[in-house]
């Protein structure tokens, strides 16, 4: 019995000593660590008047991308071009080519022709798009055939993506390497 009391007393001393030591050496404090990152955001402006469109008629279609955020960004663009006819079931997609030639001629800007690199279906801007900067990529479109009437509709849709201008962001998100030097960007497939 005496042994049992000694063991219990030692056990109580051990637990008490452990708890006091833990409380003495363990300190916990909650701190609200606030930080802000620069906002990155683009704005796409497209001007395309809806009018009747005859063969060889050039229609102004201006497409401009602006950096309205606070951070330098990397930009990539893709586009999708379709002719369609609406019916009771929705849209019926039509061919964009007649005799192997595009129905619509697009007049790209010099910036688009010189400052974008096509890789895997995306056009990568070879410059850093700084805050308040913009790049215009398209000036106009011209219908080259009378094969489609006013009942058929034309869509030229652009898709834009941006990342913060950092060499690692393009590898992690787009799986493509970027080398940034000042405001120039070199793109390479990974």
| pLDDT tens-digit map of 166-182 | 878 899 899 999 999 99
Tell me what pLDDT residue 84 has.
Answer: 81
Mean predicted lDDT score pLDDT of the chain: 82
Tally of helices (H runs) and strands (E runs) in the chain: 3, 13
**Which range has the top average pLDDT, 12-26, 143-157, 162-176?**
162-176
Query: Where is pLDDT greater, at 31 or 186?
Result: 186
Per the model's pLDDT, the better-predicted residue between 177 and 54 turns out to be 177
Residues 99-152 pLDDT 10s? 777 888 899 999 999 999 999 999 999 999 999 999 999 999 888 877 777 677
Residue 127: what pLDDT? 97
| pLDDT at residue 100 in the model | 74
Tell me which residue of 96, 180, 186, 108 sits closest to 145, measured CA to CA.
Answer: 96
**Nearest alpha-carbon partner for 123 in 110, 137, 133, 134:** 137
Where does the pLDDT of residue 29 fall: very low under 50, low under 70, confident under 90, or very high at 90 and above? Answer: low
At residue 184 the predicted structure's pLDDT band, cuts being 50, 70 and 90, is: very high
Going along the chain from its start, the domains and CATH numbers come out as 42-189 (2.60.40)
| Residue 173 CB contacts under 8 Å (≥ 6 apart), including other chains | 163
pLDDT at position 56 is 80
Of the pLDDT bands very low, low, confident and very high (cuts 50, 70, 90), residue 30 is low
Hey, what are 100's tokens?
């192997």
The pLDDT value given to residue 137: 95
């Amino acid at each position: 019995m005496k042994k049992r009391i000694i063991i219990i007393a030692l056990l109580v001393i051990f637990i008490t000593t452990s708890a006091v030591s833990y409380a003495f050496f363990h300190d916990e404090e909650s701190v609200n660590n606030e930080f802000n990152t620069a906002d990155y955001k683009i704005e796409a402006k497209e001007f395309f008047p809806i009018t009747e469109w005859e063969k060889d008629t050039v229609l102004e279609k201006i497409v401009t991308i602006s950096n309205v955020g606070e951070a330098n960004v990397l930009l990539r663009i893709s586009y999708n071009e379709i002719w369609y006819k609406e019916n009771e079931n929705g849209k019926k997609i039509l061919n964009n080519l007649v005799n192997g030639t595009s129905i619509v001629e697009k007049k790209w800007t010099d910036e688009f022709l010189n400052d974008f690199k096509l890789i895997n279906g995306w056009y990568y801007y070879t410059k850093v798009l700084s805050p308040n900067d913009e790049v215009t990529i398209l000036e106009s479109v011209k219908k080259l055939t009378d094969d489609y009437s006013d009942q058929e509709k034309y869509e030229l849709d652009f898709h834009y993506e941006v990342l913060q201008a950092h060499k690692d962001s393009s590898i992690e998100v787009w799986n493509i390497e970027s080398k940034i030097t000042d405001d120039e960007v070199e793109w390479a497939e990974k």
